[in-house]
Amino acid sequence: MKKSRGTKKDIYEGITNNIITALDKGTIPWHKPWIGGPPANYTSDKAYRGINVLQLEVAQLGAGYESNHWLTFKQAKNAGGSVKAGEKGTPIIFWKFFTKETKDEVSGEMVKESIPMARGYTVFNTLQCSGIKAKEKPGGVIDSIEAAECLVSGFGGPPGITHAGGRAFYSPGSDSVTMPVRNSFDSSESYYSTLFHELTHSTGHATRLDRNLKNKFGDDKYSNEELIAELGAAFLMGLTGGELIAKTLDNSAAYIAHWRSKLSEDSGLIVKASSAAQKAADYITRG
């Protein structure tokens, strides 16, 4: 999408001013614009915990499964389905506690002690099974927006983009963006705003604008990068049309308010971050 630098500058400045105005007035709480979450058991719908989360997320992302639900061979059978031939399961650990009574050597009283016992299970994603009805996804109807798609396709030398799981993130190591599946978002606008946020992160890669992306979660540098990414997303939404940015601006302002609160700097930080965000948006749309 080609626009003059003057037109881009006007859009960037207008959006920055609107966000600052929203921050000054107070913003509504940020909400995650997609349905999804950590790996969960299909039968109980309970989320897995501990090391199991990492195990299953790695398996889910590695295979590109759109479902975050898992079940054992027996659970699949009880649900009226079966594991497909040749499918390889993912090992998890289930901790069960049992009570043991022992006699206290000093008091002579019986004392109850909780003893943990680990049991290993193998689980399969629902997409590795036949005859298993997928869980309903209450997301919106995500139509393609031509102006936004043109902007994405015009990004020269972009990162890889994968749709899987329940998280949105950019990985500098593999130079790749992972997005939740499209129909898990509550609107087309929120889908593209989230994608633009991650694409803005990707401009910080060493082969592009070379921002420092090796920051710890929650520290000042990490927080500043999140401000840049969300401002960049707002700028890109603005370049694709006024109606798009209007539908996502409140949530962007709420997200920015959250990360600004993590920093010790004053409100002038937004203006500083917007300069880096402008460079990122210009990089993506330079074609």
CB-based contacts of 103, cutoff 8 Å, min separation 6: 109, 110, 111
Cα 251 to Cα 16: distance, rounded to the nearest angstrom = 14
How far, in Å, CA of 163 to CA of 161, rounded? 7
Q: Where are the beta strands (DSSP E) in 150-194?
A: 160-163, 169-171, 176-179
Select from 279, 204, 181, 269 the least CA-distant residue to 235.
Answer: 279
**Domain boundaries defined on the chain:** 5-35+138-284, 40-130
Go through 30-55 and write b for each residue having 16 or more CB atoms within 10 A of its CB, e for each that does not.
bebbbbbebbbbbeeeeebeeebeeb
Would you state the structure tokens that stand for residue 88, as one six-digit string? 């390889």
Q: Are 151 and 5 in contact (CB under 8 A)?
A: no
CA dist 64 → 33, 68, 165, 253 (Å): 21, 10, 8, 32
Between CA 233 and CA 16 the distance in angstroms is 12
The pLDDT score that the predictor gives to residue 265 is 59
Beta-bridged to residue 91, according to DSSP, are 122
Tell me, what's the pLDDT at 2? 41
Q: What is the DSSP letter of 42?
A: T
Would you state the pLDDT for residue 5? 45
Q: Is 210 helix (H, G, I), strand (E, B) or coil?
A: coil
Residues facing 102 on adjacent strands = 111
pTM score: 0.70
pLDDT per position in the chain (287 positions), as tens? 444 345 888 889 899 888 888 888 877 788 878 876 678 899 998 888 888 988 888 888 778 787 889 999 999 999 999 999 999 999 999 877 778 888 877 887 888 887 778 889 999 999 999 999 877 665 566 789 999 999 999 999 999 999 877 789 999 999 999 998 888 898 999 999 999 999 999 999 999 999 999 887 767 888 899 999 999 999 999 999 877 888 898 899 998 888 887 766 566 788 889 999 999 999 999 85
